[in-house]
Chain A
Amino acid sequence: METKMTRWIPILLRLLVGGLFVYTGALKAIDPTAFFKAIENYQILPHTLAIMAAFFLPYLELFSGMALIFKRLYAGALALLGGLTIIFIVALISAWARGLDIDCGCFGSGDGPANYGWALARDFAIVAVLGFLGWRCDLK
């Protein structure tokens, strides 16, 4: 049975996750060079692709986050942000496995050396919330 509380939970989660992606996307979009360096530190993407990603990913986060908040293009935003977060998780695990002592880059730059455990826990939580929202909502 749906109560007032259960009705509000998805709305709060949607605003919270959407707001988080708008915030991180804006931070990265403001300083693409810093984000580019953060990507380079992972030593995964070739130089040219790293530059492209440094410009593209911030706006993808920003627009998809806004889509969550305003519930427009909602299904696409959930899928994109879910996929993006899974890619971040793979990159973090890869860097952790190689013993890289690098800036996570999750909030652009200047986060300090990555606390891999915390960053992974946060990303897994985000994927879980996105999955829950995708399962829960009547998408138009």
Chain B
Amino acid sequence: MALPKTRTVLKQAGILLLAAGVAALIAAFATGGVKQGEAQNKGEIALAAALQQQPPPLWIDARSDTEYRNEHIPEALLLNEENWSELVPKVLELWDMGRTAIVYCDSPGLQSSREVAERLRDFKLGPVFVLQGGWKAWKQK
């Protein structure tokens, strides 16, 4: 058996890590990093993919109370930043561990959905996604 000495392994690994780091910096500089707009797509899910989820996802409506009362996705739960503390207990009660939650809204840039999704992720009960296109995407389906 001819395993190399630890020092050799560390030295060689260090050289490779350094080379990869330099290349990554050059690539990040050359491409301008991950573009902000694309980065904002993090944690989003398209409606078609959302509808294929098994078991069905827990829909979270991050719009206002009035908009929710007018119309919402069937079985969606209301949860917005304005009335968070009043609304969140019901969501936690009905959110089974591991079930996917999908948040939607109709605000520009899906800002409300993103904020609600961010807070929901802290509970670590299951995957949380923002619905791409939000409420409009649902209405146009």
Tell me whether A76 and B27 are in contact (CB under 8 A).
no
In the complex with contacts A33-B38, A135-B3, A63-B98 CB distance below 8 A: no
Residues of A close to B27: CB separation below 8 A: 29, 32, 55, 59
Residues of B close to A59: CB separation below 8 A: 19-21, 23-24, 27
Tell me whether A135 and B39 are in contact (CB under 8 A).
no
Residues of B close to A80: CB separation below 8 A: 13, 16-17
Closest chain B residue to A36, Cβ basis: B34
Q: Which of B47-100 contact A (CB under 8 A)?
A: 53, 98-100
Q: When chains A and B are docked, how far (Å) is the Cα of A20 from the Cα of B58?
A: 39
Residues of B close to A49: CB separation below 8 A: none
Tell me whether B34 and A76 are in contact (CB under 8 A).
no
* Majority secondary structure of chain A interface residues (helix, strand, loop or mixed): helix
Tell me whether B19 and A135 are in contact (CB under 8 A).
no
Q: Which of A91-110 contact B (CB under 8 A)?
A: 98-101
- Output the least CB separation between B57 and chain A (Å): 10
- Output the least CB separation between B95 and chain A (Å): 13
Q: When chains A and B are docked, how far (Å) is the Cα of A57 from the Cα of B17?
A: 9
Tell me whether A63 and B127 are in contact (CB under 8 A).
no
Total interface residues in chain A, CB < 8 Å: 39
Tell me whether A40 and B42 are in contact (CB under 8 A).
yes
Q: When chains A and B are docked, how far (Å) is the Cα of A47 from the Cα of B21?
A: 18
Q: When chains A and B are docked, how far (Å) is the Cα of A101 from the Cα of B102?
A: 13
Q: Which of B108-141 contact A (CB under 8 A)?
A: 121, 126-128
- Interface CB pairs A-B, < 8 A, 20: A36-B38, A43-B121, A51-B33, A51-B39, A55-B28, A56-B24, A57-B20, A59-B19, A59-B20, A59-B23, A63-B16, A63-B23, A64-B16, A76-B8, A79-B9, A79-B13, A80-B16, A101-B53, A101-B100, A139-B4
Please report B residues at the A interface, Cβ cutoff 8 Å.
1-4, 8-17, 19-21, 23-25, 27-28, 31, 33-35, 38-39, 41-43, 53, 98-100, 121, 126-128
Given A63-B16, A74-B12, 11 other A-B residues pairs in contact with their CB atoms under 8 A: A43-B121, A51-B33, A55-B27, A73-B12, A75-B4, A75-B12, A79-B9, A99-B126, A99-B127, A139-B2, A139-B4
